[in-house]
Amino acid sequence: MAKIGITELILRDAHQSLFATRMRTEDMLPILDKMDRVGYWAVEMWGGATFDVPIRYLNQDPWDRLRSIKKAMPRTKLMMLLRAQNIVAYRNFPDDLVEKFVYYAHKNGIDVFRIFDALNDFRNMEVPMRSVKKTGAHCQASISYTISPVHTEQYFIDKMLKLQEMGTDSICIKDMAGMISPKRAYDIIKGYKEVGGKCPVELHAHSISGMTGMAYQRAAEAGVSVVDCDISPFSEGTGHPATESVVYAFKGTEWDTGLDMELLMELRDYFRTVFDKYRHLMRIEALRTDPSIVMHQIPGGMMSNLVSQLEMQKAKDRLDAVLKEVPKVRQELGYPPLVTPTSQVVGVQAVMNVLFGRYKNIPTETKDYVRGMYGLSPAPISDEIKELILGPDWRSQMVTGRPADSLKPEWEMRRRELLEMGLLRKEEDVLTYAIYPQIGLKFLKGEVIPEFTSESLPLPIEHKATRAFVRSFFPEVQDIYLSEKDPAQMVNDAIAAMPTQRSACFDGPQKLKVEIKGNTYDVTVYPPGTEGGMDIVRSPEQAVKRPPQGSGTVRKAETTSSAKGEKVMCPMQGTIYKVLVKEGDRVRKGQPLLVLEAMKMENEINSTRDGTVERILVGVGQEVGSGSVLAIIS
Ligand code: CO
């Protein structure tokens, strides 16, 4: 009997795909005893965003979650997704941190480490794999699946043989965008087995294309060992095939999973109530089947990022142009699979190319990618593109070895820092801090305020998150939910809808009259960099002071008219991330003055001429719009 195993994803990928990874530990614990009796091959419960989100938004310790799940599920193997040298974040970490992370993850309960690299550059997987083998845990190396002229069946089969040679215990075909067809699934798995492939193969595919159930069937026929599923309330769409459906479909066949349908029904009932509690996070797009993925290869998460980035830049009408630009950029960058972090690099570069001209604006992350700091691109990048992105001296900037080779050990340093701050309560905290220095520190200091707690769910209808949820289904009801209690928010929204007014006010305070639902508000909007923010007076009564966004301090209003010189304008909406020069500094044309964080990427803002920095009009953390004056150079 070629029984098939099931990996249940409800505690990680299911709610990461459908509910922004927000499920709290206390909503998992009550059902774990039953889950432990199902007989899953493994339960995936950690990794990916389940590290970042709990410390950032839930005020929950991911290490505590791991320990309490392990305690409640002693019989079931727990799986985590490890982003290879990126651990559970978005940049390469030094080897000592990778080793320590794997050691402590295993010590606290992880039995199966699924390791992947976005580019299938296995040099990034060597140290994580070796670290896992050292702990004695199960090492499951993955190949990131995508469609492109270089990603042929032979490409994947060769990659799988390579992983086998590297000593992996099993292999995962990771189809994060949900576009593997039944034929491809069959041909790759069968092809691998026919050329001497010995490792058990697990198929992880998201449901978006609508073909995934069929792909699981064909994978079974080709000899797959395990398939990945979500218990039904959190299944399909950007999630994965439903556990109960797959179990029932294989019932009575040679691939029978042997799992107990009655028990699965109890899990289903439980997670239906959880789904209802977290209703405010539901987005209809997350549940829609969308076969267009196989044509443009843009995963759902990336698509919604593109839309929100264009909205932020007030350029939503350019979406079609961006969707045409994405495949061009992807080809020029050597066909990276569109998964974190390369999806972000390709997506934002495509947006920039459409808004500002092709490769006129290039974020640091694109340059790093082209330099080889993420790993080798699947297809080579042409010298022409390298020169366009890195400049004429591109050859000297290329990273030739393993990307992490140039990184210095960090564990001792981070541990000492934490000790000196009096925040070292357990060794695992060093990793929380080292991987997420800013938010990790805030969390360890106890300064994170949870978005919601389990007891407060479901959120009441007037809560802003519930209102956003309702609006996503019924855009026309917007006004009904705009509470009279917060006129500042209403006025802010109204002004945001008046871009011309907003951009006109950068040389001095601007007075506006805003009418909302019969009430007139007198609003004074101050230029960014002076007072920022705005005064709102509801005529004729009460005044509401709205603090400037970002900086949190209110400075005295002043205009910039006294400063003579050339204005350095902000090209797009974003947040000031770094200020690199001081007033009075001599600068050269093209020298970076500031770093603007836009669309989660760093963009250098350069001086437009040789001269002296006369004024800097913005501070770190300040939000700025397209057309804001950032600095004046005389
Ligand atoms: Co996934």
How far, in Å, is the centroid of ligand 1 from the Cα of 609?
Answer: 48
How far, in Å, is the centroid of ligand 1 from the Cα of 5?
Answer: 17
pLDDT given at position 382: 97
How far, in Å, is the centroid of ligand 1 from the Cα of 337?
Answer: 14
306 and 351 in contact (C-beta within 8 Å)? yes
DSSP assigned state of 230: B
How far, in Å, is the centroid of ligand 1 from the Cα of 207?
Answer: 10
Structure tokens at 34: 């039953």
* Average pLDDT, integer, range 204-214: 96
216 and 203 in contact (C-beta within 8 Å)? yes
Residue 597 or residue 43, greater confidence: 43
pLDDT given at position 538: 45
Residue 121 or residue 465, greater confidence: 121
Structure tokens at 360: 């006129």
Using 50, 70 and 90 to split pLDDT, how confident is the model at 490? low
DSSP assigned state of 448: P
**Candidate ranges 55-59, 399-403, 550-554; pick with highest mean pLDDT:** 55-59
Segment among 14-23, 275-284, 303-312, 523-532 with least mean pLDDT: 523-532
pLDDT(532) > 50: no
How far, in Å, is the centroid of ligand 1 from the Cα of 583?
Answer: 48
pLDDT given at position 478: 56
**pLDDT tens readout for residues 434-473:** 999 989 999 999 999 999 999 999 998 878 788 778 777 7
How far, in Å, is the centroid of ligand 1 from the Cα of 205?
Answer: 7
How far, in Å, is the centroid of ligand 1 from the Cα of 111?
Answer: 18
Q: Which of 229, 203, 199 is nearest to 215 (CA)?
A: 203
How far, in Å, is the centroid of ligand 1 from the Cα of 416?
Answer: 36
Q: From its phi and psi, is residue 34 left (phi > 0), alpha (psi between -120 and 50) or beta?
A: alpha
How far, in Å, is the centroid of ligand 1 from the Cα of 204?
Answer: 7
Segment among 67-76, 309-318, 399-408, 515-524 with least mean pLDDT: 515-524
How far, in Å, is the centroid of ligand 1 from the Cα of 385?
Answer: 31
How far, in Å, is the centroid of ligand 1 from the Cα of 287?
Answer: 15
pLDDT given at position 536: 52
pLDDT(216) > 70: yes
Segment among 501-510, 546-555, 585-594 with least mean pLDDT: 546-555
Task: Return all residues near 220 (Cβ < 8 A) that are at least 6 apart.
Answer: 2, 4, 227, 250, 253, 255
User: The tokens 């991987």 sit on which residue?
Assistant: 435
**pLDDT tens readout for residues 139-176:** 999 999 999 999 999 999 999 999 999 999 999 999 98
What is the residue-wise DSSP string for 315-348? -GGGHHHHHHHHHHHHHHTT---S-TTHHHHHHH
Using 50, 70 and 90 to split pLDDT, how confident is the model at 560? very low
How far, in Å, is the centroid of ligand 1 from the Cα of 455?
Answer: 29
pLDDT given at position 488: 60
Task: Return all residues near 100 (Cβ < 8 A) that are at least 6 apart.
Answer: 411, 430, 431
pLDDT given at position 313: 84
* Average pLDDT, integer, range 533-557: 40
197 and 161 in contact (C-beta within 8 Å)? yes
How far, in Å, is the centroid of ligand 1 from the Cα of 9?
Answer: 9
**pLDDT tens readout for residues 179-202:** 999 999 999 999 999 999 999 999
How far, in Å, is the centroid of ligand 1 from the Cα of 14?
Answer: 8
* Average pLDDT, integer, range 3-19: 95
* Average pLDDT, integer, range 542-560: 36
How far, in Å, is the centroid of ligand 1 from the Cα of 358?
Answer: 32
Using 50, 70 and 90 to split pLDDT, how confident is the model at 285? confident
The correct CATH number of 562-634 out of 3.10.129.10, 3.30.1490.100, 2.40.50.100, 3.20.20.140 is: 2.40.50.100
How far, in Å, is the centroid of ligand 1 from the Cα of 254?
Answer: 27
CATH 3.20.20.70 fits 1-409+447-477, yes or no: yes
How far, in Å, is the centroid of ligand 1 from the Cα of 13?
Answer: 6
Total Cβ atoms within 10 A of residue 518: 5
Rg (CA), the chain: 26
Q: Where are the domains of the chain?
A: 1-409+447-477, 411-444, 483-560, 562-634
**pLDDT tens readout for residues 567-617:** 888 888 888 888 899 999 999 888 889 888 887 778 888 888 899 998 888
Q: What are the C-alpha distances in Å from 12 to residues 50, 120, 435?
A: 7, 22, 19
Rounded mean pLDDT of the chain?
Answer: 87
